[in-house]
Structure 1
């Protein structure tokens, strides 16, 4: 396991991050789904780090990063990435984000395109519904006795029913991440999703973009991925027969698509 480093951001949060792969290779940033840590990418590191210096980090409120008071703005989540690049002395990087990480990637493509090379947006959306539904979700997670119910809901949205029926190592890995997630960090991140509506801005994006969606995703539906791909000029779309965590459910297909796209001349 690579060493854990920490960045102190301009607003005094601590962001935990790891680096894998030779330092001389181009940088690829990995950004996580809400409710997970940088460990969600463990399966991809061997393949990706052969071609890239891989930077993965725990979003604020998650994992080994600090839990600043909620709410978190989408702009602040995006600036955490920019400040990580600044700290590493990297002017431009490739970016791969899944779910909330994909929303952050869209924000970066719109507001900091000069820092991005190629963009992969996986199982994500430009808009996830009316603000009032998020008020209810934020209230529920803050008032719950523990994270058991929240974890069960997330896992039901993330994996095929067959994976949930028996003992599944991957499901248990993600259950542990969810149960260890600070509820205030989760609520703060929900607020960033609540405010996000990138639909009007995507037509301005000029970065080479690959969109990956899950055919059976009930969170960020395949139609959401198609809408993003249709909105960004020249974007490619790949739909895998997955639910939400397509990198976990179909790792080889996911990695092959990402590498084919990022390494293309």
Structure 2
């Protein structure tokens, strides 16, 4: 189990593929872990040197005391690249991972070759909403959040078609460290990149889910308009589009990065 001891915490990561190929980093969404990218890893390991990691507070990474900030999450990626002796990389983040990607695009441009921002926004939700969720999770744990996760993450048609996938991801959320989850809610509460993403210079692809109720197509359009030269694709999926529409997601990713 590879662990990087960085930024006063321990980050769990996994690599796949040949180190001689271009590096591609995947960043998970809130309440998931690096396994969410398995379909992409299976398809792309022959094209890239893949780096997946569990965001602090998630999966097998440590959950140091919060609150966290998006700058911390971005600096964790920079430190992980240093740990792996990677100078520059492509970066693909979904939801919270996409907010981390925007921070990197603004503040660590020298490390990013191409940027993929999936099912995310420059401002996700509201500060009050995230603070309320963090408080509820600290008081009650993750059970209630996990019970309703499938309805936020996937379309009803996908849940009916692939109930095992939805149930497994909800169960994984239920077992996450509740304090780490809440600390990442704190990071999202304070994250507002609407005034900064115009400075992103990396070629950028924005992926939206046509049925995403969390980060909408309108959110994606706003990012496309703000980031110079950004491209956008829409997939027939809800919030975790790489799991609901894996072939379409991977195809869009490969076409953009090729």
Task: Return the TM-score normalized by structure 1.
Answer: 0.94
1:189 aligns with 2:184: yes
Structure 2 vs 1, CA of residues 8 and 177 (structure 1 numbering), >3 Å: closer, same or farther? same
Shift of 1:166: 7.4
1:5 aligns with 2:2: yes
Instruction: Give the corresponding residue for 2:255.
Output: 260
1:43 aligns with 2:39: yes
Paired residue for 1:58, among 54, 61, 64? Answer: 54
Paired residue for 2:173, among 169, 174, 178? Answer: 178
Gaps of 5+ in 1: none
1:153 aligns with 2:163: no
Between the aligned partners of 2:125 and 2:236, the Cα distance in structure 1 is 24
Task: Return the TM-score normalized by structure 2.
Answer: 0.97
After superposition, give the CA deviation of every residue in 1:102-149 in whole Å (9 maximum; x if it has no partner).
0000000000000000000000010023312222111111111x4221
Q: Are the aligned partners of 2:88 and 2:111 in contact in 1 as well (CA < 8 Å)?
A: yes
Does the residue aligned with 1:220 lie in a helix, a strand or coil?
coil
Paired residue for 1:242, among 228, 237, 241? Answer: 237
Shift of 1:98: 0.4
Does the residue aligned with 1:178 lie in a helix, a strand or coil?
helix
Name segments (4+ residues, structure 1) moved above 6 Å: none
1:19 aligns with 2:33: no
Shift of 1:23: 1.6
Instruction: Give the corresponding residue for 2:223.
Output: 228
Does the residue aligned with 1:18 lie in a helix, a strand or coil?
strand
Which moved further from structure 2: 215-224 or 157-166? 157-166
Instruction: Give the corresponding residue for 1:107.
Output: 103
Between the aligned partners of 1:154 and 1:192, the Cα distance in structure 2 is 20
Structure 2 vs 1, CA of residues 125 and 68 (structure 1 numbering), >3 Å: closer, same or farther? same
Count of aligned residue pairs for this structure pair: 258
Does the residue aligned with 1:188 lie in a helix, a strand or coil?
helix
Between the aligned partners of 1:212 and 1:75, the Cα distance in structure 2 is 23
The RMSD of aligned alpha carbons is 1.2
Structure 2 vs 1, CA of residues 130 and 153 (structure 1 numbering), >3 Å: closer, same or farther? same
Between the aligned partners of 2:67 and 2:166, the Cα distance in structure 1 is 28
Paired residue for 1:138, among 127, 130, 134? Answer: 134
